[in-house]
């Protein structure tokens, strides 16, 4: 568990884009991961809400991490679908992803993204479902 958390943080720190955005691993266990992202103005769209692309990025990353807890480190998101539910604003985004089904090389995962206010209230903002695949074999780089 501690090890998974350490590993997850290492992966995130090795992604320049995740460093640019400011994502953090808040929790990770087998089949589940929680990513957090402090909200700041740079991440907004034109109406003062977090840009959908930021939410998609976070969901995508959380899906990959969740899949990675069962398929190993060399995984990537093959595809996903995301539904935006409500505008996101507040103090931070929280993405909770889990494995719905895992085979040997494929995991179907889900991710719910919430916007947390300063006092901890959460608003459900988006939900995603996608396919994570192992690329350990290098057969298909993407």
Contacting residues toward a copy of itself, per CB under 8 A: 11, 14-18, 20-21, 41-46, 50-54, 56-58, 60-61, 64, 76-87, 100-101, 103-106, 108, 124, 127, 129, 131, 139-142
* Least Å from the CB of residue 29 to a copy of itself: 21
* Least Å from the CB of residue 140 to a copy of itself: 5
Residue 85: Cβ within 10 Å count:
15
CA of 98: how far to CAs of 34, 53, 110, in Å? 9, 21, 6
> Residue 15 or residue 29: which is nearer to a copy of itself going by CB?
15
Name the β-bridge partners of 66: none
* Least Å from the CB of residue 33 to a copy of itself: 15
> Residue 29 or residue 45: which is nearer to a copy of itself going by CB?
45
> Residue 69 or residue 77: which is nearer to a copy of itself going by CB?
77
What is the chain's length? Answer: 142
Residue 92: Cβ within 10 Å count:
19
Residue 140: Cβ within 10 Å count:
11
């Amino acid at each position: 568990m501690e090890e998974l958390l350490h590993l997850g943080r290492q992966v995130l720190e090795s992604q320049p884009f995740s460093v640019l955005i400011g994502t953090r691993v808040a929790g990770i266990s087998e089949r589940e991961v929680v990513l957090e992202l402090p909200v700041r103005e740079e991440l907004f769209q034109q109406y003062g809400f977090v840009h959908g692309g930021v939410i998609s990025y976070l969901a995508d990353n959380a899906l990959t991490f969740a899949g990675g807890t069962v398929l190993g480190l060399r995984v990537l998101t093959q595809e996903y679908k995301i539904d935006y539910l409500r505008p996101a604003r507040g103090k931070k985004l929280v993405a909770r992803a889990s494995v719905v089904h895992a085979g040997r090389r494929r995991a179907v995962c889900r991710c719910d993204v919430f916007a947390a206010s300063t006092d901890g209230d959460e608003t459900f903002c988006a939900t995603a479902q996608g396919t994570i695949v192992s690329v350990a074999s290098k057969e298909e780089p993407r």
